[in-house]
Chain A
Amino acid sequence: MSLLELHQVSKTYGAGPSEVHAVADIDLEVDRGSLIAIMGPSGSGKSTLLTISGSLEEPTSGEVLIDGDSLQKMSRNDKARLRRRTIGYVFQEFNLLAGLTALENVSLPLELDGVSAKKARLAGIAVLEDLGLADRATRYPDQLSGGERQRVAIARAVIGGRHLLLADEPSGALDQANGEAVMRMLLSACKKGVAAVVVTHDAQLASWADRVVFLRDGRIVDQTVPPPSAESLVQNVPQP
């Protein structure tokens, strides 16, 4: 059973002549431990696909299953619980809440769930240590660099055993080195069992994924096949 399943998901805005099909007839399956990239030009519906998968928006038709449970049948509060315990979302920018330290930001989903502040902090420290950010725990977001902020956001997205990570252009505002660091972090999270779906328009970042899904005009038009092992590549290098 896949962690995330989309069956014939469509989303339409407006009605009549001004109708816009953001996404149409999407079928997608994401397993644990896999890193999926969704590529497409702007307006292709990548972000909408992600928000629907993340329970932030409802599809006009079709079904979304997370851990086998259909989102349609869930109330707003159930979906909120899902976001606290299962789904982690990372945006391109402004992920963190000003006024709270990095540690408080990371442990916030747990605290909202009612976990005592003390336990939540311990969990938060553990996650930050895992990601090499423990020394930034007491800084406020405006005291962190862009790359650090994104990595703290990822920490918050995986705390408490959350295993579906959805990222919308997580490296979009970062330079090459920081962007790579973010992708490496996502990859290492996947190695520990998280399923990650990353939306991006950047081929270099998409190339970090196990599978790249191509979206155009709201539809999936193509997917890459899993690559052969790395060694075979080196033989194919053209001669100088």
Chain B
Amino acid sequence: MTSASDPVLDLRGGGTGSLAARRAVMRWAWRLFRREWRQQLLVLALIVVVVGAIFVAAAVATNNPTPNNLGFGTASDLASYQGAVPHLSTKVAALEHRFGRIQVIEDETLAIPGSVDTYQLRAESSHGPFSTPMLSLVAGRYPTGPGEVALTEGVASALNVHIEQLWSEGATQRRVVGIVEDPLDTLDAFALVVPGQVRNPTEVDLLFDAPGVDPSTIGPNVAHVSSVALGAANPETIILLVAVIGMLLVALIAAGGFTVLAQRRLRSLGMLSSIGATEKQVRAVVRTNGAVVGVAGALLGALLGLIVWLIYRPALETSSFHVIGTFALPWDVIGPAMGLAVVAAYVAARRPARIVAKVPIVAALSGRPVEPKRVHRSAIPGVVLLVVSFVLLGYSTAGNNAKPHVPLLVGGLVALVSGVVLLAPFFLSLAASVGRHAPIATRLALRDLARYRARSGPALAATSISVMIAVIIAVAASARYGNVLDYTGPNLASNQIVVYAPPPAGTQLFSPTGSSTAPKPPPMEVLNERVHEIAEALGAISAIELEQTNANLSHAGPGRNWNGPIYVATHGLLKAFGIASSQVDPSADILSMRPGLSGISKMQLTWSPPSGLPDGKVPNHKSPHSNPNSCGNGCLWNPKIEELSQLPSGASAPNTVFTEHAVHALGLQTSLAGWFISTVHPPTAAQIRNAQLDASKVWGMSIETKNSAPSGMEVIDLATLAGIVLALAILAMSVGLIRGETAGDLRTLAATGASSTTRRTITAATAGALGFLGALLGTVAGYIGVIGWIRSNSLNGGISALGNVPLANLLAILVAMPLAAAVVAWLLAGRQPPVIARQPIE
């Protein structure tokens, strides 16, 4: 028998902390995973799906928006001139002297013969210092001399020329040598020539680098490339935030899964202890298994995400109109997300590891562990955290500030989530004590939930968190969309179009490249004809003239300010919306469909009064309430507002209008703003494009159609639905875990004559109870969060803004969701659980 006295082998070990011992433990953990990966499929699949989803979402979110260096290439600054630039070479030399390298791009707008479409004749060096990202060769080669040109695909086909053919533009003949495109904007249509070939440029851009210099000091037409904003609006940050929340939910569910797994391995772990493994080594086995699951899940998830991305990328390129590199992936989001997955799985395995290592060895070996010590979980830490969160969230958005104090906001959210996680076990024991008088099947289900907290607690926490997020979004959205001043929502209905008239002559126009004044618009007949054409093409039933005034409405109190155009209630407009003159209060100044607007105080109307009027007098206004409301020349307090629901609700539609009475009484000036067109059927995309082209024939005329902004109701419903679906998914995974392992009582029940109905009842009660408790805790926490955030946030209206309770949605969450969970559980619980009943370890 080999013994310590064996002269050949020195068998003194380096101790349990040594590398050899660690490797032995890890080896067994890895072998267990390899053998039993099917039992961990649930958690593994969850991590794979979440990591894959984050991968794809991050890739899409970062690549979908228009590249911020469109027009700039690699330059940081751009000086843009309209039309030919006098003394261009001098200016170029001056800038070159000051900033070093400079590149000139000249564009001349040309029309495609026989069409309204235009393209640019572009003089741009194909090897310039800054333009590399904006030029790529599709076929052939770049032009190298005066007689050569390269076209974009669209231009080439429109002009019906191919490579090696001659192309005449005006008097010039050039040979087409290649097909090019602008990777940053694949819609860009241009003909590329070498620099110096454009004689009458429409626009000249100078690209250069001026780091640290304020562009306005260089010139009025200089712009700096907009940097990718760090902060809340950046899609990468949002995705990362979603990743953190997602991994938290994953960790909670995985905790339950690992508990079940450790329970199944209890005997082997006891055996390990009996041959001399320390508690630490036993814990290490379970934790290593967690880490392995995390790593495997992260790698497989990234692979899945990559495959989906590779499939979807071409479609995204087409829909976003710029070239997207195959591997242009935001690794600074994906990397941390993968790391988070590993961390989440490892952390989720820690508590089950501790629990199973503490089971007495003899009990573990026999598979009959002792009754868990009744730990009295106090509710106090959880409640304290909720209070802390309430306070922090309030301080994060105090006052009229739109920008939140980010650390306090994050701290408040973290405290909120932690509070929910800590309170979840307490809620479970509440459930058990409430259910003491329920019939036996329900009582058993509730008692099991309360007893085996290590798996039902995290499940409840996860369900609550998903409900909480939905409630926060729904309630906050309801407060925001309920604000009638800063009106937000869809701009128009799908069958409504607004055509905007060109601005009056002399209006100041501001653009990133400088300011100018508007030219004189064409006469009314021309405009009317154009509108008539547009309306006909769209199959419109009416085109109402929209008149605007020179008056501004504002809210002088705390909170948000007025937003949106106010038109005039002409006779035609009122008729078009079916408003009889008898419905209009003769003393009303403003008509609006915005609900509750009439009750808002501290509204102020200001305008520049027509010249020649005596000060202080509001002419022709006999009604008594106006004089005390006057706040001086061209100013009126609390104009009388009448609510009429027949007015359209779109943000760009005439939802609020001045009465003719107000126009006359206050001496307001009116001018043509545009036309409001309603069609029978919503116009097709082709019709809209044609209308846009029609409008563009007149300088300054533009069209607005329904955008994709969701209405308040849509946001609230979507959030509710998402929260419910997520909660149901969590419940589905958790109830299976919980019921599968505690079937011992079912055997007893079956022996006394209970049937599959009992099994179904218990499972349904478990699902329904978990669902309801999760909905309750989530709703309470969600309201605490929103109230905490909004209470001192006067911008969003404070607590009174929460008056609009989205009742139907809350009922769906609190009642329909648990019912649905119970019903589905009832239906699916008929089959025998395949797992043989064991006593759970906690």
Contact = CB atoms under 8 A, between A and B. Distances in A.
Interface string B3-16: 11110011111111
B296 interface: no
Contact of A161 (B11, B15, B267): B11
Contacts of A89: 274-275
Contact of B275 (A77, A108, A122): A108
A88 B275 CA distance: 7
B1 A158 contact: yes
A116 interface: yes
Contact of A97 (B12, B14, B268, B361): B268
B401 to A, nearest CB: 57
Given A99-B34, A126-B2, A114 B278 contact: no
A80 B276 contact: yes
Nearest to A99: B31
Contacts of A156: 275
A114 B13 contact: yes
A115 B361 contact: no
A141 to B, nearest CB: 11
A208 interface: no
B267 A80 contact: no
Given A100-B31, A189-B1, A112 B276 contact: yes
A95 B365 CA distance: 10
Interface stretch (A49-57, A61-69, A226-234): A49-57
Contact of A194 (B1, B9, B21, B277): B1
A115 B12 contact: yes
Contact of B1 (A85, A91, A127): A127
A112 B2 contact: no
A91 B24 contact: no
A76 B279 CA distance: 8
A98 B268 CA distance: 8
Given A97-B271, A159-B2, A194-B1, A112 B365 contact: no
Contact of A110 (B11, B31, B272): B11
Contacts of A110: 11, 13
Contacts of B9: 119, 122-123, 126
A192 interface: yes
A127 B276 contact: no
A160 interface: yes
A8 to B, nearest CB: 21
B361 A56 contact: yes
B275 A109 contact: yes
Interface string B253-278: 00000000000000110011111111
Interface in B10-31: 10-18, 20-21, 23-25, 27-28, 31
A76 B21 CA distance: 18
Interface string A118-157: 0110110011001000000000000000000000000010
Interface string A74-98: 0011001111110011010011011
A160 B4 contact: yes
B267 A123 contact: no
Contacts of B28: 97, 99-100, 108
Given A56-B362, A80-B273, A111-B24, A161 B2 contact: yes
B32 interface: yes
B779 interface: no
B268 A115 contact: no
A104 B276 CA distance: 15
Given A83-B274, A113-B16, A114-B15, A161 B4 contact: yes
Contacts of B17: 114
B314 interface: no
Contact-size category for A: 35 or more
B304 to A, nearest CB: 27
Contacts of A126: 2, 6, 9
Contacts of A83: 273-276
Contact of A130 (B1, B20, B267, B365): B1
B281 interface: yes
Given A114-B21, A115-B12, A123-B11, A109 B361 contact: no
A193 B35 CA distance: 38
B360 interface: yes
A20 interface: no
A99 B25 CA distance: 12
B16 A123 contact: no
Interface residues of B, number: 43
A126 B279 CA distance: 29
Given A80-B278, A81-B276, A123-B9, A115 B20 contact: yes
A interface secondary structure, majority: helix
B217 to A, nearest CB: 70
Interface string B186-225: 0000000000000000000000000000000000000000
A98 B264 CA distance: 13
A117 interface: yes
Contacts of B12: 115
Interface string A156-186: 1011110100000000000000000000000
B283 to A, nearest CB: 13
Contact of B11 (A51, A81, A82, A119): A119
Nearest to B366: A47
B32 A113 contact: no
Contact of A117 (B6, B10, B24, B272): B24
B277 A80 contact: yes
Interface string A30-63: 0000000000000000000001001011000000
A25 B71 CA distance: 93
A130 B519 CA distance: 106
Contacts of B5: 161
A120 B6 CA distance: 13
A98 B272 CA distance: 11
Contacts of A95: 271
A127 B2 contact: yes
A110 B276 CA distance: 9
Nearest to A89: B274
B541 to A, nearest CB: 76
Nearest to A48: B362
Interface in B157-204: none
Contacts of A104: 27
B391 to A, nearest CB: 44
Contacts of A56: 273-274, 361-362, 365
Given A97-B28, A123-B11, A160 B2 contact: yes
Contacts of A163: 3
Contacts of B275: 83-84, 88-89, 108-109, 112, 156
Contacts of B25: 112
Nearest to A191: B1
A99 B23 contact: no
A116 B20 contact: yes
A57 B281 CA distance: 19
Contacts of B274: 54, 56, 83, 89, 91
A113 B281 CA distance: 11
A100 B278 CA distance: 19
15 contacts: A54-B274, A76-B279, A80-B276, A97-B271, A98-B32, A99-B28, A108-B275, A113-B13, A113-B21, A114-B18, A115-B12, A130-B1, A159-B2, A161-B4, A193-B1
Given A83-B273, A111-B13, 16 more contacts: A56-B361, A82-B276, A98-B35, A99-B35, A100-B27, A111-B20, A112-B281, A113-B15, A113-B21, A113-B276, A123-B6, A123-B9, A127-B2, A158-B1, A160-B11, A193-B1
What 10 A-B pairs have minimum CB-CB distances, sorted nearest first? A84-B276, A161-B3, A114-B13, A114-B14, A113-B13, A99-B31, A111-B24, A114-B18, A83-B276, A161-B4
Interface of A: 51, 54, 56-57, 76-77, 80-85, 88-89, 91, 94-95, 97-100, 104, 108-117, 119-120, 122-123, 126-127, 130, 156, 158-161, 163, 189, 192-194
Interface of B: 1-6, 9-18, 20-21, 23-25, 27-28, 31-32, 34-35, 267-268, 271-279, 281, 360-362, 365
